Amino acid sequence: MNKPILLTNRQLFADKNLKLIFSITLAGTMGVSLITPVLPSIIDAFNITKSQVSWVIIAYTLPGLLFSPFHGAMSDKWGRKAVLVPLLFLFGIAGFLSGFAETFWQLLVLRFLQGIGGSGIFTLNHALVGDLYRGKTRMQIMGINAAMINIGTAIFPIMGGYLGGMGWRYPFHLYILAVAVGFLILFKLENMAIPPKQSMSGYMKQAFASIRHWKIIRLYILSFTTFLITFGAMIAYLPLLMSDKFGSSPFSIGLVMACGSLSSALISANIGRLGRFVPANFMVATAFGLYTIAFGWIIMTHSAWHLLLISAMFGFGQGLNIPNVQTILVSSAPEEVRGLFMAFNSMIILIGITLGPVIASIIYNFWGISHIYLFAGVLTFVFMLWLIFYSKDMNI
In a domain, 324, yes or no: yes
In a domain, 377, yes or no: yes
Least confident of 3-17, 75-89, 169-183, 314-328: 3-17
Higher pLDDT, 250 or 102: 102
Do the domain assignments include residue 185?
yes
**The pTM of the whole model exceeds 0.75:** yes
CA dihedral 82, 34, 180, 351 (to 10 degrees): 0
Structural domain total, the chain:
1
CA distance 338 to 220: 15
Please state, in angstroms and as integers, the Cα–Cα distance from residue 111 to each residue in 97, 102, 358, following that order: 9, 13, 17
Residue 213 maps to a domain:
yes
Domain around 222: 9-191+208-390
Which domain CATH number covers 44?
Answer: 1.20.1250.20
Supply the angle between the helices 63-78 and 121-132 in degrees, to the nearest 10.
30
Structural domain includes residue 274 = yes
| Dist CA 93 CA 78 (whole Å) | 24
Please report whether residue 396 resides in a domain: no
pLDDT above 90 (res 261): no
Largest CA distance in the chain: 60
Q: Would you say residue 219 lies in a domain?
A: yes
Ramachandran region of residue 135, left (φ > 0), alpha (ψ -120 to 50) or beta? left
pLDDT at 211: 75
pLDDT tens figures, 184-204: 998 888 766 566 666 677 777
Residue 294 in domain: yes
pLDDT in tens, 21-79: 989 999 998 998 888 888 888 998 898 887 788 889 889 988 888 888 888 888 877 87
pLDDT exceeding 70 applies to what percent of the chain? 93
What pLDDT shows up at residue 161?
Answer: 86
